[in-house]
Structure 1
Amino acid sequence: MWLEIIIIILLIIFLIYKRLTSKFDYFEKLGIPYVKPKILLGSYPGSMSKKLSLREEFLRKNLEFKNHKVYGVFAFGSGDPIFVINDLEILKKITIKDFDYFKNHFNFVEPEDDPLFRKSLFAMSDEKWHDMRMTLSPAFTRSKMRLMFQLILDICERAVKYLENSIKNDPNCKDGVNFEMKDFFTLFTNDAIASVAFGLDVNSLEDNNNEFYRMGKNCMTFSTWDVIKFVMYGASKKIFRLLGLKVFKKEFRDYFYRLVVDAMKYRKENNIVRQDMINMLMEAQSNPEKPHNREWTNEELVAQCFIFLFAGLESVATTLCFATQELIEHPDIQEKLHQEVDSVNEELDGKPLTYEALQKMKYMEMFISEVLRKWPPFTQSDRIVTKPYKIEVDGIELNLKVDDIIWIPIVGLHMNEENFPDPYKFDPERFDDENKPKIKQMSYGPFGFGPRACIGSRLALLECKAILFHILTNFELVMSEKTQMPIELEPVSFPVSIKGGFWLKMMPRK
């Protein structure tokens, strides 16, 4: 009896092993160089086992294969083969010239496992994606950014008052006050998204126990158990479902659904207009001249607000954290920004910052561009092959099949010395009027490339510039005894973060 049970268990283990490793010779058969995988952990076992950050491990592997136009890696969990494209011309074809062959993102999550995420613009496919993109595009034009700017400005001014009060109430304020910037910027970004996307006026800096902040933070915090769930989901969706697990908790979906639908109903009944994303979605739903005949459901509209929070909260906060980290490491760059900020304030002559004045700040633009080059919020982007496609790679004719996965190695492109000499040096001058035209096309893409580039990039940049302007107007940023130098990246962190936090001292400017 026991012998039969043991044999059955061993047989099951063997069958699972064979299934998970069945694709490991995929690239060898094609003659494509590849990163050797480990079962369940794929080609990046260091990040999955908390030895390295995903950014470090991905970058290390990418630089190892930088002389290959295309190389292969394997996904964690499922072991699916993925083509990583290093060649700029091939990337241009995939993301722009031959976009119709690579329209869609890889959808890790199936509709039944998280319908809200799958109905977002990021996860939509083919014509449905195109129609939703057309629906949302008017919300992110320059004219709409001007209208949303006042909402962001209000949050910035409130954030500066919070910093000023914190310094006044600190007994050691003469020597500067320690701040952990990840906490601060996450609270700031949360309030900005709450206002711009959901029409909510929350003050998380004063009350970080409010429901919107708690829901957003819990949704974006990935524990070790969450990583295990993702691996399990990739390995076997059937087992995942049999165990009654969910990718995102139901309470998140229910909360955001109720929040957006109730807001739309209330505004419609009371004829309320507010220049935010909910208003844009309501206009799109009722617009008689919309560019398509599709009727969006409430759940599809809610999904756009949800992905706005999911994609924008941590990525903008992390970009701002690395921006301040670079400012304290490079006082000369901070001084140049102080001079530009002072010049703008002098022209404003005591009036509040305007959208036009912020957009004219050349050095601020250069600085943010370099932050996004060195510290892009996302390690890579992806595409799925939607129609059979042939490319010539190092003398090999490569036949890509429908549903093959493509990775665009954003951090690899940014940190390749052939694209950006001395890539680990932080140098905003790369993006001045003289050097910017020399940057190779397709070598820089913190928000992605082509029609599927991030639709919210303008708003993200606006948030970053606005809060940095207000901070630099009022404060000098210096290292503290808690500042992490040299920095060490946190393993299993999304987006990338540093061990010990982003600590600095903030001192009122004289």
Structure 2
Amino acid sequence: MYMEFKQRGVSHGGIYPVFAEPVYMPIHPVLIKSILAKDFTYFNGRGFPYDAKKDPLSAHIFNLDGYSWRNTRVKLTPVFTSGKIRTMFNTVLDCGGPLTQHINLELKSEKSLNVHDILSLFTIDVIGSCVFGVDCNSFKDPDAEFKKFGNHVMKVSLRNKVYNFMKFVAPTFGKLIHVRRVSLDMENFVINMIQEVLNYRKLGKVVRNDFIQLFMELDRKAKEKNEDSFTIQEIAAQAYIFFIGGFETAAITMTFLLHELAYNEQIQEKLRNEIRDTLRSCSGSLTYDGMTNMKYMNQVVNETLRKYPPLPF
């Protein structure tokens, strides 16, 4: 339908994708950007079902609508400033150590490497550290809980097929029969993990640069203003969407990027030279500013995303 509207040369259109339910489809990039980034007063619904009581992990910012979505977004906006992301940069770098060690160990066997699997372990470690505030040890522990969680989330099971079908075709009926996206075991794992980390931080007065710490700061500010703060279930829901939104998409993007570099050696060498120059300017240790100043790296990543857009979760 998108290509049909594009061929007609219109900037927007209307369709009936599900029975008699009318859906507005913006086509022009300016319209799309305006809807996604500005017109929250009129476009604040996602159209996805969620049940905060029976399926708490479904009540994340990607699914929420109306007042619930706006309230959550206002609270989360300060979390995503460049300054907050900067504080987590060293945490991401620390996850690179086990990645490098694992690759060097695998290379000794002289076998082919499954790059996607390796990068998936890396992104699990990064999100586990930055979002959940725990060390996943995905490279060392083959039975790590977060690896099981990642496999469960991305597995194309009958449960997921039914959930996705109900989500788009019969959301009201799906809510009535209570179709879960995540099993009860995995739901309990996420919620209990968040609870344990929060208890450990509060009792031990531990401070760490990650999302959990930012939620704790939001909680403290809310109490000072006598306002409602995030519940454990709400924090778990946001952590869950951060996990599934960044775990597989980042791994796939890096996999395709390395695939393209293998077939384009001139681009590969040019990018390698930029990385070397950046490391020299940073005295051998990559910094946040050094990374953001790598213009060619940014172009390579953007071109990868253009050619291989990640599938929606």
TM-score category of the 2 structures, normalised to the smaller one: 0.7 to 0.9
Change in CA separation of 1:355 and 1:236 when aligned onto 2, cut-off 3 Å: closer
Contact 1:186 1:314 in 2 (8 A): yes
CA distance in 2, matches of 1:374, 1:291: 47
Q: CA deviation at 1:234?
A: 4.8
After superposition, the Cα gap between the structure-2 partners of 1:353 and 1:291, relative to the gap in structure 1 and judged at 3 Å, is farther
Structure 2 residue aligned with 1:368: 301
Q: Percent identical across equivalent pairs?
A: 29
1:238: Cα distance to partner?
Answer: 7.0
Query: What letter is aligned with 1:152?
Result: V
Give the letter aligned to residue 331 of structure 1: E
Q: Structure 1 unaligned runs (5+)?
A: 1-60, 379-493, 496-510
Aligned residue in 1 for 2:203: 269
Match of 2:259 in 1: 325
Question: Which residue pairs with 1:122 in the alignment?
Answer: 62
Q: Between Structure 1 and Structure 2, how many residues are aligned?
A: 311
Classify the secondary structure of the residue corresponding to 1:204: coil
| Residue among 230, 234, 248 paired with 1:300 | 234
5+ long unaligned stretches in structure 2:
none
Q: Does the 8 A contact of 2:215 with 2:235 survive in 1?
A: yes
- Residue of structure 2 equivalent to 1:107: 48
1:153, distance to aligned residue in structure 2 (A): 0.3
Q: How does 1:35-50 map to 2 (within 5 A)?
A: none
Q: Which of the numbers 9, 24, 27 marks the counterpart of 1:86?
A: 27
In the TM superposition, what are the counterparts of 1:105-504 in structure 2 within 5 Å?
Answer: 105-111=46-52, 114-118=55-59, 120-168=60-108, 170=109, 173=110, 177-224=111-158, 226-232=160-166, 234-236=168-170, 245-287=179-221, 293-349=227-283, 351-378=284-311
Q: Which residue of 2 aligns with 1:64?
A: 4
| Deviation per residue, 1:59-103 (Å, 9 max, x gap) | xx5323312333444546x67443322124433543455431112
Is 1:75–1:81's contact at 8 Å kept on the other side of the alignment?
Answer: yes
Which structure would you say has the larger Rg? 1
- Please report how far the alpha carbon of residue 244 of structure 1 lies from its aligned counterpart in structure 2 after TM superposition: 6.5
Cα distance per residue 1:298-340 (max 9 Å; x no partner): 2112221111112111111111122112212222111110111
- What is the one-letter code of the residue matched to 2:11? K
**Equivalents in 2 of 1:322, 1:219: separation in Å?**
21
Q: Which stretch shows the higher mean deviation, 140-149 or 335-344?
A: 140-149
**Compared with structure 1, are the counterparts of its residues 79 and 335 closer, same or farther at alpha carbon in structure 2 (3 Å cutoff)?**
farther
What letter matches 1:116 in structure 2?
A: L
Q: Does the 8 A contact of 2:162 with 2:179 survive in 1? A: no
Task: Identify if the C-alpha distance between structure 1 residues 246 and 145 changes in structure 2 by more than 3 Å, giving closer, same or farther.
Answer: closer
Q: Distance in 2 between matches of 1:288 and 1:131?
A: 13
The question of whether the paired residues in 1 share the 8 Å contact of 2:57 and 2:237 is answered with yes
- Spell out, residue by residue over 1:351-409, the C-alpha distance to the aligned partner (whole angstroms, 9 max, x if none): 3211121111111111112222222224xxxxxxxxxxxxxxxxxxxxxxxxxxxxxxx
The two structures have a TM-score, normalised by structure 2, of 0.88
Worse-matched range after superposition: 81-90 or 335-344:
81-90
Instruction: State the Cα distance separating 1:261 from its structure 2 match.
Output: 1.0
Shift of residue 288 of structure 1?
A: 5.6
The CA RMSD over aligned residues, in Å, is 2.7
The superposition leaves residues 193-237 of structure 1 with CA deviations (integer Å, 9 ceiling, x where unpaired) of 001111111221222321122022202222355214432565556
* C-alpha contact 2:119 2:254 (8 A) present in aligned 1: yes
SS in structure 1 at match of 2:57: helix
Change (3 A) 1:208 1:353: same
Question: Distance between the aligned counterparts of 1:71 and 1:290, measured in 2?
Answer: 47
SS of the residue aligned with 1:83?
strand
Q: Which amino acid aligns with 2:10?
A: H
Kept in 1: contact 2:127–2:243 (CA 8 A)? yes
The Cα shift of 1:246 comes to 2.5
Contact 2:26–2:32 under 8 Å retained in 1: yes
* Deviations 1:134-185, CA, capped at 9 Å, x for gaps: 32233322222222111100111220111011112x1xx4xxx522222111
The alpha-carbon deviation at position 191 of structure 1 amounts to 0.6
1:180 and 1:247, CA in 2 relative to 1: closer, same or farther beyond 3 A? same
More divergent stretch after superposition (82-91 vs 264-273): 82-91
